[in-house]
Amino acid sequence: MKKLTIILIAAMAMIACGNTYTVQKVALTNQNDSMNYALGVVNGAQMKMYQLRNDSSIETVTEFIDALQRGYDGKVEELSEAANIGKNIGHAIKNAEKNGLADNPAWAINQKVFFQGLVNGLRHDTTVMKADDARNYFQAQYQASAMINDSVEMGKVVKGKCVYKVKTIELKNQNDSVNYAFGYLNGDEVARYVLLMDSTGQMTKDFITYINKGLKSHVKNPQIVNMGEQIGKNIKAQEAQGLIGEPSLATDFVLIKQGFINGLLGDTTMTGEQAGEYIQTTMNNIKYGSVKEDGEKFLAENALKEGVKVTESGLQYEVLKMGKGKKPAATDRVKVHYHGTLIDGTVFDSSVERGEPTSFGLNQVIKGWTEGLQLMPVGSKFRFYIPQELGYGAQQAGSIPPYSTLIFEVELLGIEK
């Protein structure tokens, strides 16, 4: 309860001001606010851990949040597959100006040579290099480059744009050959898997057009930008169904965005783990709150019945048959026959119906079983009424809904040391 109160009253979030995102407190006054914020936090924290583990700079975070906003606002151009791949290649080659071809600082990008190789690969022109030769050459050079010191100084970057026509060019040095081979391989792959059905040439034209558009952008991390745009579009598209598909929760994009920034920049007021737990608990309360209430009502009435005993933990049990053997300890392994149902009589598990007893360690099962079987001498048969907190709690367990009260008839057949 204390953790939930903290989450609902206040949390740290980020706000954008001229595309600069900084930490700022925001008031989360109700469950709807907290769910929106937590959704952003958990996704932002996961992105920081997996997608941005090598680059969580404010520049990259800003690119993502700006893209998230564009996607939500519907300001993202809808592109064909060919155009989208072209844009991404343009971004990647633009970034190679700083990072080197294929992120290798030993290889200076020569855009003119790379793009001619790309177009020749698209057209399957083999005058300069065949696909197999390009692949073998590039792989050999890539392996050899792994032996080069990372501090090697990059050579001269040559800028250019993607052309449309096949052309035979002279490869004057190793750097030219690497650029051409890498371009040719990319062109060959795109031709075989993306442009295979391009009977009119329009797909190829779009592909090259958007390569050149991508070259003109100054995006640092195009993959993250694309992800941000898509997530923003998805949030907008799903608004009508309610937050996370729950009609009782309204989407608040401002809070989601702030949560994303918070998670991305690593603020710990609400961690990704806490946000995930809060979302799961809240969704379970919304969907299965009646299961919990029905269970509590059932147990309150059941406790008043003759023959029902209640332990300090809240476990209820009836003795159907009292055995004369030894009682097991919490660390013992036991052999039992059991029949498990929900309070409405639904059977969710039964060794009796399977016709075969089962064995397990008492420290390997739910709390209600661990406690209850220690009350049973071997040869006994008890009926247990297990509150959800001594069962699976908020977790879904197979066909058992969260917060379910469980009823078990258990016969203790023996203790296996």
Active-site residue, selected from the candidate residues 33, 66, 125, 349: 349
pLDDT tens digits, 177-209: 999 999 999 999 999 999 999 999 999 999 999
pLDDT at 17: 39
Query: Could you give the domains of the chain?
Result: 2-55+225-282 (no CATH), 81-220 (no CATH), 303-416 (3.10.50.40)
pLDDT at 373: 98
- Residue 278 annotated in active site: no
Of 12 and 207, more confident: 207
Q: Name the average pLDDT for the chain.
A: 91
Answer yes or no: are the C-beta atoms of 180 and 129 closer than 8 Å: yes
> For residues 255 and 253, what is the distance between their CA atoms, to the nearest angstrom?
5
- Residue 109 annotated in active site: no
Residue pointed to by tokens 């008492």: 362
- Residue 408 annotated in active site: yes
Active-site residue, selected from the candidate residues 267, 392, 400, 403: 392
> For residues 129 and 126, what is the distance between their CA atoms, to the nearest angstrom?
5
Active-site residue, selected from the candidate residues 6, 244, 366, 415: 366
- Residue 348 annotated in active site: yes
pLDDT at 243: 97
Distances (CA, A) of 121 to 81, 84, 309, 320: 18, 19, 80, 80
What's the chain's Rg over C-alpha atoms?
A: 31
Could you tell me the pLDDT band of residue 217, with boundaries at 50, 70 and 90?
confident
Question: What are the respective helix, strand and coil percentages of the chain, to the nearest 5?
Answer: 50, 15, 35
Q: CB neighbours (10 Å) of residue 410?
A: 23
pLDDT at 4: 36
Q: Are strands 406-416 and 333-342 parallel, antiparallel or unpaired?
A: antiparallel
User: In sequence order, what are the residues at sequence separation of 6 or more whose Cβ sits closer than 8 angstroms to the Cβ of residue 146?
Assistant: none
Q: What DSSP state is assigned to residue 245? A: G
> For residues 92 and 99, what is the distance between their CA atoms, to the nearest angstrom?
10
Active-site residue, selected from the candidate residues 142, 244, 332, 348: 348
Give the residue among 209, 206, 203, 125 at the shortest CA–CA distance from 169.
125
> For residues 292 and 90, what is the distance between their CA atoms, to the nearest angstrom?
55
Q: What DSSP state is assigned to residue 271? A: -
User: Amino acid letter at 195?
Assistant: L
Active-site residue, selected from the candidate residues 115, 278, 338, 403: 338
Could you tell me the pLDDT band of residue 151, with boundaries at 50, 70 and 90?
low
Could you tell me the pLDDT band of residue 152, with boundaries at 50, 70 and 90?
low
pLDDT tens digits, 250-297: 999 999 999 999 999 888 899 999 999 999 999 999 999 999 999 999
23 pairs with which residues across the strands? 14
Active-site residue, selected from the candidate residues 21, 182, 298, 408: 408
Could you tell me the pLDDT band of residue 153, with boundaries at 50, 70 and 90?
low
pLDDT at 195: 96
Least confidently predicted of 40-54, 112-126, 249-263, 298-312:
40-54
Mean pLDDT over residues 25-38, rounded? 93
pLDDT tens digits, 299-349: 999 999 999 999 999 999 999 999 999 999 999 999 999 999 999 999 999
Least confidently predicted of 56-70, 148-162, 211-225:
148-162
Distances (CA, A) of 321 to 25, 329, 336, 342: 61, 20, 14, 22
Mean pLDDT over residues 70-79, rounded? 95
Q: Is the pLDDT of residue 1 over 50?
A: no
User: Amino acid letter at 37?
Assistant: Y
Encoding tokens for residue 276?
Answer: 């995930």
